[in-house]
């Protein structure tokens, strides 16, 4: 597995997912906004729906589904890695001195659970009756949970040239990116195949970029959304690495309106085949500015790139990069249904092969329109999964696809 991907729709060979766990049960009506949720899902039903999703991937493609928890436990057997992750996770509560105590008292699997689901003062007190938690209340978090972790698309992105490791915009999600990077740089199955494109070495706090903003347009081009979660400086640096690496010739910066329903570029459109794109029309029409980065020259180890602001729409860019492009609107363009189904990520389907997608069963009108275009649509239950406001693409990180 070379950890590079050259399309959004090549037949799926391997994918990374995270089965939701105790971190979801940490959500309450009072902390959900802080933890970046707009609702409080029911964990058992959420797990059933997620299991149906991962089973459908296996049955329909034969792809290997890697589970984050299993990979994490394998890496955490290295006690130095575990200690460093615990220390980093305890920084926000200013209790980094407890890392050693936690390491001594919990098993590796328990520590994996703590790193994803968090740890409260009263929980640690069961193991450490004399715990001095300072000013923290009994039900305060020593380590915050990561309830967004089942959205595996965001903490990194695979491109034709290597991996972009995300620098998450929201502090509450940065630990997700740290976990993913730790896994891929240390797991025996992956570490020798990682070509990191971002962030640059030595950057203490790199500009933010998230995987949902990265879309492979063609063999020669990648698009990155300049969104509420991805900064212009990060796009410039990622473009420099990609163009210098030599596998793509153009990196497009797509300026998205700063609105919740356009959070990432993959909520605006997804590519389902070499000539078919599914889009949310309101968002497509709202993108009024696009820039294109190309390689200027390479002098020794210095890469110079140039940026051109394009006076054309995103649609025009897509038509140039994707010959004979067909564009399908969510709910086939019906304004009422399109708006409703976009709220539940109608445009965010997961392509498991050319013109084969997995979609939420609730997006009836979009699924019907896809079938009318000759797309095979496999549906998954979505009453709870959709509460996190992310679709099937958001929940999956493809690690290997057949080359197209």
**Residue at token pair 């790193």:** 115
The arrangement of strands across the sheet holding 326-329 comes to 269-273, 276-279, 326-329
Q: How far apart are CA 291 and CA 226, in angstroms?
A: 10
- Measured CA distances, 342 to 24, 36, 250, 346 (Å): 23, 19, 29, 5
Other C-beta atoms closer than 10 Å to the C-beta of 354 total 18
Q: How far apart are CA 390 and CA 303, in angstroms?
A: 36
Which of 147, 252, 168 has its CA nearest to residue 210? 168
Active-site residue flag, 146:
no
Q: Which two tokens stand for residue 211?
A: 């995987």
CA dihedral 388, 390, 391, 397 (to 10 degrees): -110
Instruction: Spell out the SS3 assignment of 201-251.
Output: CCCCCCCCECHHHEEECCCCEEEEEECCCCCHHHHHHHHHHHHHHCCCCEE
Catalytic residue, from 111, 146, 292, 394: name it: 394
Q: Which active-site residues does the annotation give?
A: 394
């Amino acid at each position: 597995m070379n950890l590079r991907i050259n399309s959004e729709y090549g037949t799926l060979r391997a994918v990374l997912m995270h089965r939701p766990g105790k971190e979801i049960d940490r959500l309450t009506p009072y902390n959900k906004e802080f933890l970046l949720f707009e609702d409080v899902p029911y964990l058992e039903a959420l797990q059933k729906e997620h299991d149906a999703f991962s089973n459908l991937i296996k049955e329909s493609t034969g792809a290997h589904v890697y589970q984050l928890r299993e990979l994490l436990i394998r890496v955490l057997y290295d006690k130095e890695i575990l200690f460093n992750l615990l220390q980093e996770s305890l920084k926000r509560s200013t209790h980094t001195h407890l890392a050693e105590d936690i390491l001594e008292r919990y098993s590796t699997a328990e520590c994996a659970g703590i790193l994803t689901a968090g740890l409260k003062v009263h929980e640690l007190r069961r193991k450490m009756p004399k715990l001095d938690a300072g000013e923290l209340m009994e039900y305060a978090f020593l380590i915050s949970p990561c309830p967004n972790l089942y959205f595996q698309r965001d903490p990194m992105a695979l491109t034709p040239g290597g991996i972009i490791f995300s620098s998450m915009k929201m502090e509450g999600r940065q630990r997700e990116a740290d976990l993913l990077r730790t896994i891929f740089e240390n797991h025996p199955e992956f570490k020798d195949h990682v070509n990191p494109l971002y962030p640059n070495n030595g950057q203490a706090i790199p500009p933010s970029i998230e995987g949902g903003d990265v879309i492979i347009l063609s063999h020669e081009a990648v698009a990155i959304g300049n969104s509420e979660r991805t900064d212009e400086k990060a796009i410039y640096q990622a473009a420099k690495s990609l163009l210098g690496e030599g596998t793509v010739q153009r990196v497009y910066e797509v300026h998205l309106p700063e609105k919740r329903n356009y959070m990432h570029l993959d909520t605006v459109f997804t590519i389902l085949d070499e000539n078919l794109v599914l889009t949310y029309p309101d968002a497509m029409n709202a993108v009024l500015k696009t820039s294109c980065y190309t390689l200027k020259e390479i002098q020794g180890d210095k890469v110079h790139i140039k940026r051109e602001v394009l006076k054309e729409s995103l649609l025009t860019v897509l038509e140039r990069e994707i010959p004979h492009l067909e564009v399908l609107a969510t709910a086939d363009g019906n304004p009422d249904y399109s708006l409703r189904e976009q709220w539940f990520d109608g445009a965010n389907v997961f392509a498991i092969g050319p013109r084969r997608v997995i979609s939420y069963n609730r997006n009836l009108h979009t699924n019907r329109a896809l079938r009318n275009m000759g797309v095979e649509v496999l549906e998954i239950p979505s009453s709870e999964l959709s509460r996190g406001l992310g679709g099937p693409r958001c929940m999956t990180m493809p690690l290997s696809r057949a080359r197209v």
